[in-house]
A and B are shown apart, each in its own frame.
Chain A
Amino acid sequence: DGGITQSPKYLFRKEGQNVTLSCEQNLNHDAMYWYRQDPGQGLRLIYYSQIVNDFQKGDIAEGYSVSREKKESFPLTVTSAQKNPTAFYLCASSYPGGDEQFFGPGTRLTVL
């Protein structure tokens, strides 16, 4: 089955800890994206990558980092510098030059 997987589904973090959220796709898409969703806020772009070994900051990149070493994988690290990390995190991918983005099931991160 082709698709996007995110793990874990739920993640709990203590303040001051870094955590890494996984995103894998087997759709052979070049572009991948990370969004954050808060209640009443819609989706906001954190980082995106059009190609392996290249990525750009989105609107709310502060406190986050990414890597794109493989086409299939685009992990997101939420660092201790992120002031309000509790949110629903969504990963998406699209074809090269494509505008239809396909989303994973999301990871819900809670800071204790």
Chain B
Amino acid sequence: QKEVEQDPGPLSVPEGAIVSLNCTYSNSAFQYFMWYRQYSRKGPELLMYTYSSGNKEDGRFTAQVDKSSKYISLFIRDSQPSDSATYLCASNNQAGTALIFGKGTTLSVSS
């Protein structure tokens, strides 16, 4: 079983919709959780970062971690066509070590 699982999609939504992107992980030692956004043929950019359980909000984006169920979520409110990208979740159990990535979910927001 891969340590971080992510549904690859694709996910298509109309502009203005609320988007929910999800990952599950298997290693209970994971403490650091990240969401990256990657546009086509570009490097990933860090979108959200959370430590341990709980929610973190930044503008239209909310990251949520539920360690009891080993579930990671990213919510996008009022989605825009510019949100169309691949979203990668990532985690590790020790700061400064390499990240374990999910395969990424491709999102398309139509105007």
Contact = CB atoms under 8 A, between A and B. Distances in A.
Interface string B14-42: 00000000000000000010101000011
Interface residues of B, number: 25
B59 interface: no
Contacts of A33: 98
A58 B92 CA distance: 14
Contacts of A41: 103
Interface residues of A, number: 29
Contacts of A100: 34, 46, 49
Contact of A99 (B42, B96, B104): B96
A42 B96 CA distance: 20
Given A101-B46, A106-B41, A42 B98 contact: no
A42 B95 contact: no
Interface of A: 4, 6, 31, 33, 35, 40-45, 48, 50, 58, 88, 90, 94, 96-106, 108
